[in-house]
Each structure stands twice: as C-alpha cells, then as structure tokens.
Amino acid sequence: MDSESSKSALNQIMEAIKVVNMIGLHGMPGVGKTTLAKEVGKHAREQKLFDKVVMFTMSQNPDINKIQHKVAAIFDLKFQTDIEDTRAEELFRGMQRVNKILVIVDDLWEEFKLESIGIPFVAT
C-alpha cells in the first residue's frame, strides 16, 4: 500500500462503501487486488463502519463447506447439521441479527449468489 495509486484507490473505496452496496475490483493477476481488499477490511474495522467484516476466498473451485464454517466462526455460530442448504439457512438467520456487515469476496471467477452460502444480500 505504498504507492500513491494504491492509497488513492483505498480512499476511493472507503468513501464508496459508505454509500453503495457492492464494489468490484478487477485486474490482471498480481496487481494487488487482494492486498487492497484486505486493507479495505482493516480500515473498515478500525473506523467501525460495519458491525462485522467478513472476508473469504471463493477461488475457481470454491469449498462451500469451508467458506460457511469460516463465516460462521466470525459470527460465533455453531452449525447443527452437515447439510449444506441447512447450514446456509442457519448462517442466514445468524447474520440477519447483525445490522451492518461488510462482505469481501476474494478471487471470484464468475457470478455467484451469496444467498446460496447463507449470506443475506439486501440492496440499499
């Protein structure tokens, strides 16, 4: 995060997350998208812009079970089942109790419905 362009991008994103509900970062591999996303999450936590900040890697072949458990741990949720759809429902209910959540999805290769994992999406 040393370059001026990186700092500028971080500042623009930090301003944007206050008023929009979705931001996408794209670019060639190795340009710093993941680093920038992590910095956004760090600053959002420090500035207390959100009640919870969730970040996970989707990858080309996502492990939904692993992602669900990682997100559940952030919310101190314990699943009652090993069934993916039921875990999604439990996660959805648990996350709805939190007012403002920043979800950062890294390495997303194609459109994906976060609701299928259990992450509620409410357009503002």
Q: Note the pLDDT of residue 26.
A: 85
Is 47's pLDDT higher than 70?
yes
> For the whole model, what pTM was predicted?
0.86
pLDDT category, 121, cuts 50, 70, 90? confident
The residue ranges of every structural domain in the chain are: 4-21+31-116
Q: CB of 91 within 8 A of CB of 54?
A: no
Distance CA 16, CA 58 (A): 23
Structure tokens at 15: 């301003």
